[in-house]
Structure 1
Amino acid sequence: MKKFLVLGVLFILPIVAYLFFASGIHNFAKLPVLEEDIPELQLSENVQLEDKITVLGFLGTNIEREGGDLFNLNQKIFKSFAEFKDFQFLYLVPKDINLDELDRVKHELSLGVNLSNWHFVLTSQENINTVFKSLKTPYELTEDGGSPYIFIIDKKRNLRGRDDDEDYGVLYGYDSSDVAELSNKMKDDVKIILAEYRLALKKNNADR
């Protein structure tokens, strides 16, 4: 009798635990939609939000100040998820930026990681302002036309974030200058949205 009890615990308990956690992920691990139907970007380059999970950022002209933020993102977020083909980083950059400085930063970011899914797109400050306002967040652009905040946009062009954050209540964007926020909040949220799409893909394949 003891033998059957031990065997039952060894075989049944892992299955029950798996079903419990799988059910929890399926039902609860979805990143809230904070704003729907973000307008598609009007850019000269062939880079779009539709059908991509996008980390959207706004790079001002002060590369010296913001360069550290980019390296934080590279180390804490991008490197961990760079292999996902539907995942991209997209930074809108003012046309009057120092291109030599931008190229230097891009080169340093590329050391040890493939930047093919990280786009820096030059555009007018007017267009940058329009895109930023379309997110409908409480944040403002800095004097150099950029922002330390970065945003998660899903494949349907919805802004994702937290609606019950313990520090902010509603968390629209993530402060790229705050390493702890990137590590403890944003990284988890990117994992959640990638898992959400993987589960949806598996379900669609199973239904077929």
Structure 2
Amino acid sequence: MKLFTKKRVVLFLLFIFPLICFLLLSTGQNNFTKLPIVTERVLDVSTIDETNTVKLYDKVSIICFLGNDIDKNKSRLFNLNQKIYKEFIDNKKFQIIGIYPLGKEVEANNVKKQLGAFTDMKKWNFIAASDENILKLYNSFETNEELINLGSAKAFLVDKGVNLRGRLDEKEVLFGYDMNSVAELKDKLKDDVNVLYYEYYAAFKERNKNKAERKI
């Protein structure tokens, strides 16, 4: 009898191998690389949201600056919606926030309607703010680029502690993720959001373990 039949190999790849990987990850202690904090304690959008309905604290947030020419950013938002939003819409406390200047409500609503034709918009938030407040929020990120016409092609990842997350290497700091690049969204931003959620999972598991040990 053949030990490795085609059917057994397929079953191993589909079910057993992923399970082994999960068990290795779930039993490890700090055996993964945490996503770097590139700027600590950025400004919470609650300080510029006049509706007082959106906040960054205790949320995993992706922030976009739509600028005065919202139509120019439309294709970028569609990339973000398809490659990131739909991947994490069911994750707890996940949201995407689009910041746009006061007076651009019609253009913002048009984009919302177009995005809504393809997806559930329950975790998309659009916030209108003054030019001054948009700059104040963006400047708190302390990036290496300036806004152009109050807009940016980058999406920014903010954790539950209101810290800007990104990547660090010897050559540069990645503060934001290029929404024009589907590859960057898929290969970097998607991976980094997953790493961030795993951080919270590992921390939750560690807290429960410590509680259990104290009860013994």
TM tier, smaller: 0.7 to 0.9
Identity of aligned residues (%): 39
Q: CA deviation at 1:154?
A: 0.6
2:81 aligned with 1:74, yes or no?
yes
2:183 aligned with 1:180, yes or no?
yes
Distance 1:104 1:17, change over 3 A: closer
Work out whether residues 57 and 162 of structure 2, in 8 Å CA contact, stay in contact via their aligned partners in 1: yes
The alignment covers a number of residue pairs equal to 193
C-alpha offsets along residues 81-136 of structure 1, whole Å, 9 cap, x if unaligned?
A: 01113111111110121x33322211121234221111000110110001101100
Q: Which residue of 2 aligns with 1:11?
A: none
Q: Which residue of 1 aligns with 2:214?
A: none
Q: CA deviation at 1:164?
A: 2.0
User: Where in structure 1 do 4 or more consecutive aligned residues deviate above 6 Å?
Assistant: 14-17
Q: Which residue of 1 aligns with 2:148?
A: 142
Matches within 5 A, 1:167-206: 169-206=172-209
Q: CA deviation at 1:56?
A: 1.2
Distance 1:61 1:198, change over 3 A: same
Distance 1:17 1:175, change over 3 A: closer
Q: Aligned with 1:27: secondary structure?
A: coil
Q: Which residue of 1 aligns with 2:160?
A: 155
Matches within 5 A, 1:36-185: 36-41=40-45, 42=47, 43-45=49-51, 46-97=53-104, 99-143=105-149, 145-164=150-169, 169-185=172-188
Q: Aligned with 2:57: secondary structure?
A: coil
TM-score (norm 2): 0.80
Work out whether residues 39 and 157 of structure 1, in 8 Å CA contact, stay in contact via their aligned partners in 2: yes
Q: Distance in 2 between matches of 1:30 and 1:23?
A: 16
Q: Distance in 1 between matches of 2:192 and 2:206?
A: 21
Amino acid at match of 2:131: Q
Q: RMSD of the alignment, in Å?
A: 2.4
In terms of mean alpha carbon deviation, does 46-55 or 15-24 score higher? 15-24
Q: Distance in 2 between matches of 1:71 and 1:142?
A: 20
Q: Which residue of 2 aligns with 1:9?
A: none
C-alpha offsets along residues 166-188 of structure 1, whole Å, 9 cap, x if unaligned?
A: xx631110011111111111111
Q: Distance in 1 between matches of 2:20 and 2:84?
A: 33
C-alpha offsets along residues 7-40 of structure 1, whole Å, 9 cap, x if unaligned?
A: xxxxxxx898666444668322310111111122
| Long gaps (5+) in structure 1 | 1-13
Q: Which residue of 1 aligns with 2:4?
A: none
Q: Distance in 2 between matches of 1:159 and 1:51?
A: 13
TM-score (norm 1): 0.83
